[in-house]
Amino acid sequence: MKIKEIIVVEGKDDTTAIKRAVDADTIETNGSSIGESVIEQIKLAQQTRGVILFTDPDFPGEKIRRTIADLVPGCKHAFLPKDEARPKRGKGIGVEHASIESIRHALHAVKEEMQEFTSEIAMDDLLDAGLIGGNKAKDRREKLGLLLKIGYTNGKQLHKRLQMFQISREDYLRAINKILQEENE
């Protein structure tokens, strides 16, 4: 599988994992304190070939994703579920621990960021579905992120991500109903 866009990852081990799974070029951020030269590389990559952000499904990875997305508009996003980014033994979470199949699946389901879109999904919808506040909110957001392939977010970021990826009200409701149905089984 050949990827046209340049994939932005956090480090060398992520690059190794990506190259095992697909034929692609990468840019490494080398952690969450992204230097100006790396941002310039990503901007050039976005102009010439396009960029896919593929960061770890943890807090630092999400911070890197947000930073780059804010500075380099129009990036595409690939997401790994947390359970597919854990090592078989030991601790940690990251792209480098994912299987070849998981990486390929995430890259196949890449989401494109859209700048000018007004979501049909209101904050009240998120509250009504128990995605913000309450003891099941985090678990529901995690399941929603998996179903919609938009990754996990905290309550504050969920509405923005639904807008950013133009998730339709129908797809949102279908996913919420599935989550609620599974809870009642």
Give residue 115's pLDDT: 55
Structure tokens belonging to residue 174: 């279908």
Q: Cβ distance 96 to 13 under 8 Å?
A: yes
| Per-residue pLDDT at 57 | 93
Residue 128 corresponds to which tokens in the numbers above? 């009504």
For residues 69 and 45, the answer to whether their CB atoms sit within 8 Å is no
Residues 78-132 pLDDT 10s: 999 989 999 888 888 999 999 999 999 999 988 776 555 556 888 899 999 999 9
3-state secondary structure of 53: strand
pLDDT in tens, 142-184: 999 999 988 888 888 898 888 888 888 899 999 999 999 999 8
Structure tokens at 88: 């078989």
Give CA–CA dist 28/9, Å, rounded: 5
pLDDT score for 120 = 82
State pTM to two decimals: 0.72
Residue-wise pLDDT for 19-69, tens only, equals: 999 999 999 998 878 989 999 999 999 999 999 999 999 989 999 999 999
Tell how far CA 10 is from the center of its chain. 13
Confidence of residue 4 (pLDDT cuts 50, 70, 90): very high
Task: Classify 6-112 by CATH class.
Answer: alpha beta
Check residue 113 and give its pLDDT. Answer: 64
Give the chain's count of helices (H) and strands (E): 8, 5
The pLDDT assigned to 26 comes to 96
Domain range summary for the chain, segments of one domain joined by +: 6-112, 123-184
Q: What is the pLDDT of residue 50?
A: 94
The string of DSSP codes covering 86-98 is S-SSSS---GGGS
